[in-house]
Amino acid sequence: MNVAIIGIGLIGGSMAMALREKKIASKIIGVDANEMHRQKAIELGLVDEVTDLEKAIKESDLIVLCVPVGAAESILSAILLQVKKQVIMDVGSTKSSIAQIAGQHEKGRRFVATHPMWGTEFSGPSAAVSGAFIDKAVVICNKENSDSDALEQVEKIYRQLGMHIIYMDSTAHDVHAAYISHISHITSFALANTVLEKEKEDDAIFELASGGFESTVRLAKSNPDMWVPILMQNKENVLDVLNEHISQLRKFKSCLEKENFEYLAELIQNANTINRILK
């Protein structure tokens, strides 16, 4: 099968690598607005050729939309105007908005809304990782809105990549994503800014930063071009999570101010129960 990867960054590059390794794709066609990305994708062998969107659509059987969510809607609209029987899938971190766009198009049932639950703080084709999706979860949203053959093809591909599939409504997905992913990034950005504000000496941060700090702020290195659109699209859910997070921070602050160390211990012990989920 010929596969078009629209957006040859971290996810798109890793997807291209996986599709080639599993021999799912006989030819991979890349599309990217960034000339450096196009050149690097060819250099790394992630794609067989790079071309424009129209040509990629015509020559492919499967189209994988891997651009930031802020650009995905307009590109999906352009793709849907040109597809015949090709299957389209996306990999974005928000699903309600793009699912709504697909629902408004005549060919919208050729689209399958998906979110592979994997990523790193790095970006660009050089960040692509071999075996990235093995043993990870992928969410498929609103499966009833996709043609059965399109859904079956996407399901088969994800299983071949070693992923386990979770089915979810797009609205529910965006709520859960706010809690397990989006708030983590905001917290990391905020913590990094806090430390940069208080620790004026960069050398001191470098020398003193422990493994715990490094792992906590790792996500602060994530690309704003990717994360600003995600947070904009999922604003209401993210605000709800932020309010709860701020409330929890105030509890810790109050414990320290009032020297209520017994309650502080309770808060930490309660947090420890996350171990039942994350082992």
Closest CA to 153 of 197, 111, 195: 111
pLDDT of residue 211: 64
Domain 173-276, CATH number (from 1.10.1060.10, 1.20.120.640, 3.30.70.20, 1.10.3660.10): 1.10.3660.10
Given this model, what pLDDT does residue 206 score? 63
DSSP H or E segment with residue 214: helix 211-217
The domain limits of the chain are 2-169, 173-276
CA 192/CA 249 separation, integer angstroms: 16
Between 3.40.630.30, 3.40.50.720, 2.102.10.10, 3.40.250.10, what CATH number should domain 2-169 receive?
Answer: 3.40.50.720
Amino acid sitting at position 254? S
- 85: helix, coil or strand? coil
* 3-state SS, residue 221: helix
Helix axes 224-233, 235-257, angle to 10 degrees: 100
3-state helix, strand and coil shares in percent for the chain, rounded to the nearest 5: 60, 15, 25
User: How far is 108 from 127, CA to CA, in rounded Å?
Assistant: 31
The alpha carbon dihedral of 196, 198, 203, 208 has a sign of negative
Dihedral of CA atoms 83, 155, 234, 223 in degrees, nearest 10, equals: -90
Q: For the chain (length 279 residues), average pLDDT per consecutive 10?
A: 97 98 97 97 97 97 96 95 96 97 96 96 95 97 98 98 98 96 94 81 64 79 94 97 96 97 95 80
As to burial, measured by CB atoms within 10 angstroms (0-12 exposed, 13-18 middle, 19+ buried), residue 267 is middle
Closest CA to 47 of 78, 75, 26: 26
Is-contact 216 188, C-beta < 8 A?
A: yes
Q: Give φ, ψ of 2 to 5 degrees.
A: -90, 130
Structure-token pair, residue 230: 């995600």
pLDDT at 201: 63
Cβ atoms of 120 and 129 within 8 Å: the answer is yes
Report the alpha-carbon distance of residue 63 to residue 79 in Å, rounded: 9
Q: Tell me, what's the pLDDT at 198?
A: 74
